[in-house]
Structure 1
Amino acid sequence: MWVNIIFVLTVAHFAVATSKLDLSWSGLTKEKFFRNSNGSVSSQVEKATELNLRGNFFDSFSDCSAYLDKLEILDLSQNNLQRFFFKCSTKNNLAKLNVSHNQLPFLNDTALTTQISNLQVLDLSYNVLQHITHWTFEHMKALHVLKLNENPLNNNIDEDAFKNLVSLIDLDLNNISCSNFPAGLFTPLVSLRHLTLSSNPIEHLPELPAGIQVLDISRTNIISLGQIAASHLRILRMNEMPKFECLNLTDLVNLRNLTVLSADNCPKLTSLAVQPPTEDLLPELHRLSVRNCSIDRVERELRPVMLRVSNLDLQLNPWQCNCKTQWIVSINSMRKYSDELRCNSPIKMRGRRLFEALDIDQYDCNDYKRLLTLWIPFGLLSLASMSAAMYFSTRAAFGPRGFRRGVTVSYSNMLTRSNDDDKILEHSDITDYP
C-alpha cells in the first residue's frame, strides 16, 4: 500500500503540464509501473510526451501495456532490459529511444518495428549485443543518430546492415571489438557526417562514406594512414594509437577542408613529415596537435604548414636541440605551448625549454656553419695527403715492380740402377711462372 502511495506522489511531483513524466530511480518493476487500481498512473503515462524510466528494474518493456501514442521521448536506460517490444502503437510519434546500459543480447523483429519507424535517435550502447543483421534496422529510414558503442559485436555485422539508414548523420561504433569492417558497410550512409571507429583492433581504414566530416580512429591498431579520399572531412582524431609510427601529411593531400588534426599520446609516433613536399597542403588546417609522442625533430618541409596553423601543439616530445631544429623557434604558433617544449638531447641541454635553448642570440648556428665551411676543405686535404702517403709507402716496400709474383717449387726423386750399385739422384726444378 505504502509503495503505491509513494509511487502516485512521485508521479504527481515530477509530472509537468502532464507532458513530461520523470520516474527515474524509483525502484520500479514493469509490474508496479503498469499496475494501478484507480487508473491515475496510467492516465499520467498516456498523456506524457516524454517518459523517463531510467535506473529502475524493468527486465522488459512493451508498448501494449499502456496507451503510449503521444510518447515522443522514452528513456529506459540503466534497467535490466533483455528485450523490448513495439507492436501496438498506432500514431508513430516516438522520436528518441534510449535503451543503453541494459542486458540486451539481440534485437528481434518485434523491437525496431514499423510502429516506431519515425525514430530519429536510438541509443543501444553498453548492452551485450552480439549480431547486427541485414534486417535489424530495416524500418529505421528516418534515424539520424545511432549509438552501438560498447557492445561485443566483434565482426558480426552483416555487410548490408546499414543499407536502409539513408538519413543517418551520426554513427558511434566505439569499442565493439571489430577487427575488420565488411567492405562497403558504410557506403550506403549517404547522409553520414560523424563516424566513430575508436577502440577497435582494426589495422586499416575501411572505405569511408563520401560526405563524412568528423572521423575518430583513436586507440586502433593502424600503423600508417595511406591516402584518405574523404574530401569533406573537417576533423580527424587519431589519439592514443599504440602502433601508429608515421604521420605523413602528404597522405592527407585530398583533405582540403580539414581544420582539426590530432594525434596525441601515440608512443611509437616518431615521424611527422611531408613526403614528398606538396604545395598548398591542408589549406584550412588551423589546429594541429601531436602531443606526448616520440618525435625528436621535424624537417623544414613542414614549415609552410606550421606557419599557417594558428594552434600548434607539439608539447611533451623528446626534442633534439641543435641547429637542425633551430628553425622551429620562428614558428610563433608554437610559443603558446612553449613551457612543455623541452630538450631531451644533447644531455647538456636536457630539460631546458626549447625556445630558450635554441634562441638565436644564445645558440648561434651561423658560427657553426662558418666553422664547418672552413674545416671541410682542410679535412679533404688531409685525407688526400694520407692516401698519397700510404700509396708511396706501399710502393717503396715492394719495389718498382710492385708485389712479387708467386713462386712455385717442385721436387721429384729419380731412382736409377746400374750394374755396380744403386744411386739416388735428387733433382730440383725451380720454375718462376709468369
Structure 2
Amino acid sequence: MKMTNKYVSIRAISRDNSLQRAVPDCNTRKMLAFLAALCFITLVHSTDICDNGTCVCWYQDVGDQDYIGYNIQCTYSDSDILKSDFVLPSKVHSMDLSSNNISTLHSSVLLNSSMLNELILQNNVIKEITYKFQLPELRRLDLSNNLLESIDKESFSGLKKLEYLNLANNRFTVFTKLMFHHLSNLNEIILNNNNIGPSLEKANLFDRSGYGLTNKVKSISISGINLDKVPDNFFVDAYDLRTLVISNNRITDIFEIPYTLQYLDLSDNPISEIANEDFIDVPALEVLKLNNLWITEVPEYAFDNLHNLKELELERNKNMTVFSSLVFGQEVLNDPVDFTLERLSLKASSLTKLDRDLLEPFGQLIELDLQGNPWQCDCRIRWLKTLQIPNRYTEHLRCGSPPNLYNAKIFELKNKYLTCVEQKRHIGIAAAIFSVCIILALIAVWFFVCLPKKQSRGNLLREFYAPTAAYSVLPMASNN
C-alpha cells in the first residue's frame, strides 16, 4: 500500500512538471504565429515595385555598364507613391515618377538607392526642395514643369556624379534660391522659362558667389528667361562650352560668343542686324539657328568665317527680303567643293528671288528648304528647278507673283511660263522687225511677179530713172 501511494506521488509530480514545460511551449507557438503574421504583413506591404501592378518595368541590358538595369515607369499612379514601402529591384537604372501630383519630397525608399542613375520628377506640383537627395550614383535628374521657387543649398550635396539637370518651366527668380556649387560633374543644365534673366546682370552663372556653375559645363539652355542683354565676359569662365540655347529672350545685339561653341540657337530674339564680325571668332561652330529675328537681309560675307558650319536655319524671318549671293564668301562661288554646309533652311520668310550664282554651292547641299516664301516666278528662278530637291521640300515651294501664277507649284511649272518683262520686250522688238522684213519681202515679190513682162518693167525703170524735162535739154551757145 505504501508502495502504491509512493508511485502515485511520483506520477503526480511528473504530471506537474509536464504541465510546467507545456506552458512555455504554448507561449512559444503564439510568439511564432505572431512573427509569421508580422512577416506576412511586411511582405505584403514591401512588395517589389515591379510586382504591384501600378508601375511598368522593363530590363535594359545593352549599352554602357552604367545603363544596365530596370527602367521603372510610375506615371499617373498615386500622389502618395513616395509614402509607400515598395522595394526597388537590386539593379535599377531609371525611375519615372512624372505626373503624380507630388507636392513634397521627403525620405522614401524610392529616393534612397545606391544604384539609380536617372530620376524623372517632371509634371508634378513641387514648390520647394529641402530634402537632401541620397542617390550617390544619380547622373540625370529632371525636375521640369513643377512650381519650384527654391532649392535648399544642401539638397544637391549628395549628388556628386550628377551630369544632367533639367529645371525648365519652374518659378525661380534669383540665384540665392538656386545654387549649383556641389554639382562638380554637371555638364548639361536646362533653365528654360524661369524668370532669372534680370538676376543674371548681377550674378554670373559661373560666379562662385552666384549660381556657381563649374567650368565643366558643356551645354546650357536659358531660353525664355527674360534676358535683355548678355553682359561682357559673361562666358569667360566657360572653358569647354559646346552648346548654347539662348532663344526667346529680348536680346537685340549679338554678344561675344564663346570660342568653343559648336551649337548656337539665337532664335526668337529682336535682333535686327547680323554681320560678318558677329561670327568671326567661333571656328568650331557647326549648327547655327537664327529663326524669327527682325533682320531684313543676310549681307555679304555674313558667314564667311564659319568654315565648319554644317547646318544653318534662317526660318520665319518675316522681314528678310535679301539673301546675298556672297553670304558664304567669294571662294564658295569659285570652288564649291570646299563648301561644308550640308543643311540650309530659308523657309517661311519674305524672299522673292535668289541669285543664280548660288546654283553651285546649293547643289552641294544634302537638304535645302525654300518653302513658304513669296517667290517671284519669272526667268530668274528657273535655275531652282535644276536643283535636286526632294518632294517633301517642294510641296510648298510656290509662286507669290505674278498674279496669274500665284500659289502655283514652282517645280510643276513649265519654263515657258517663267519669263521676264525684259525678255518679253526683246521678243516684241524682234517680232516687229521680223514682221517688217516679211512685209518688205512681200512687196518685193509683188513687184517682180505681179507687174507685166520684162519689157514693161524695163520701160518702167527707165521712166523712173529718166531725167525730167527741165533738165533733158540744155541750151547751147551759138558758134560764130
State the superposition RMSD in angstroms.
3.7
Match of 1:74 among 119, 124, 149: 119
2:96 to 35, 39, 52: 52
1:254 aligns with 2:305: yes
* Selected match of 1:285 from 321, 341, 344: 341
Q: Give the structure 1 partner of residue 129 of structure 2.
A: 84
Q: What is the CA–CA distance in structure 1 between the aligned matches of 2:311 and 2:325, rounded to whole Å?
A: 17
**Distance of aligned partners of 1:57 and 1:366 in 2 relative to their CA distance in 1, 3 Å threshold:** closer
> Deviation digits for residues 93-127 of structure 1, max 9, x if unmatched?
221111111111123312332x2122111111111
Q: Do the aligned residues in 1 keep the contact of 2:224 with 2:248 (CA within 8 Å)? A: yes
The percent identity for this pair of structures is: 22
Q: TM-score, normalised on structure 2?
A: 0.65
Q: Is the 8 A contact 1:134 1:162 kept in 2?
A: no
Question: Counterpart of 1:25 in structure 2: which amino acid?
Answer: Y
Post-superposition shift, 1:203?
1.4
The answer on whether the counterparts of 1:329 and 1:358 sit within 8 Å (CA) in structure 2 is: no
Asked if structure 1 preserves the Cα contact closer than 8 Å seen for 2:149 and 2:171, the reply is yes
In the alignment, the residues of structure 1 paired with residue 239 and residue 332 of structure 2 have an alpha-carbon distance, to the nearest angstrom, of 29
Taking structure 1 as the reference length, what is the TM-score of the superposition?
A: 0.71
- 1:307 is aligned to 2:307: no
1:252, distance to aligned residue in structure 2 (A): 0.9
Q: Structure 1 residue 96 and structure 2 residue 140: aligned? A: yes
Specify the alignment match of 1:316 in structure 2: 372
What amino acid is the match of 2:218? I
Contact 1:321 1:357 in 2 (8 A): no
- Residue correspondence of structure 1 range 226-245 to structure 2 within 5 A: 226=275, 227-228=278-279, 229-241=281-293, 243-245=294-296
Question: Conserved in 2, the CA contact under 8 Å of 1:322 and 1:358?
Answer: no
Say which of 194, 205, 215 aligns to 1:161: 205
Give me the whole-angstrom Cα distance separating, in 2, the residues matched to 1:52 and 1:159: 33
1:103 and 1:118 map into 2 onto residues whose CA distance is 25
- More strand per residue: 1
AA aligned opposite 1:208: I
Paired residues of 1:288 and 1:311 also in contact (CA < 8 A): yes
Matching residue within 219, 228, 231 for 1:179: 228
Contact kept in structure 2, 1:326 and 1:358, CA below 8 Å? no
How far the C-alpha of 1:45 sits from its partner, in A, is 8.5
| Residue 12 (structure 1) aligns with | 51
Summarize the Cα distance change of 1:290–1:167 in structure 2 as closer, same or farther, 3 Å threshold: same
Give the total of aligned pairs.
363
Select 1:122's aligned residue among 162, 165, 175. 165
8 Å contact 1:134–1:161 — kept in the other structure?
A: no
Are the aligned partners of 2:49 and 2:88 in contact in 1 as well (CA < 8 Å)?
Answer: no
Partner of 2:402: 346
Unpaired runs of 5+ residues, structure 2, are 1-42, 60-68, 208-212, 432-480
The farther-off stretch of 360-369 and 284-293 is 360-369
Distance 1:79 1:255, change over 3 A: same
Give the counterpart of 2:316 among 243, 265, 278: 265
Q: Deviations over 1:14-64 (max 9, x none)?
A: 4779965544333233xx634x6xxx53x5489855443322243332458
More helix by share: 2
C-alpha contact (below 8 Å) 2:133/2:155 kept by paired residues: no
d(CA) in 2 for partners of 1:347 and 1:102? 52
Structure 1 counterpart of 2:21: none
Q: AA paired with 2:204? A: D
Instruction: Specify the SS of the correspondent of 2:198.
Output: coil
1:362/1:216 Cα in 2 relative to 1: closer, same or farther (>3 Å)? closer
What is the CA distance between 1:88 and its match in structure 2?
Answer: 7.1
1:364 and 1:22, CA in 2 relative to 1: closer, same or farther beyond 3 A?
closer
Say whether the 8 Å CA contact 1:136–1:161 is kept in structure 2: no
From the superposition, tell whether residues 239 and 88 of structure 1 become closer, same or farther in structure 2 (CA, over 3 Å): closer
Say which SS state the counterpart of residue 236 (structure 1) adopts: strand
> Deviation at 1:175?
1.7
- Tell me the amino acid that sits aligned with residue 184 of structure 1: N
Say which SS state the counterpart of residue 302 (structure 1) adopts.
Answer: helix
AA partner of residue 299 (structure 2):
N
Q: Which whole-Å CA distance do the structure 2 matches of 1:183 and 1:366 have between them?
A: 52
Shift of 1:320: 1.7
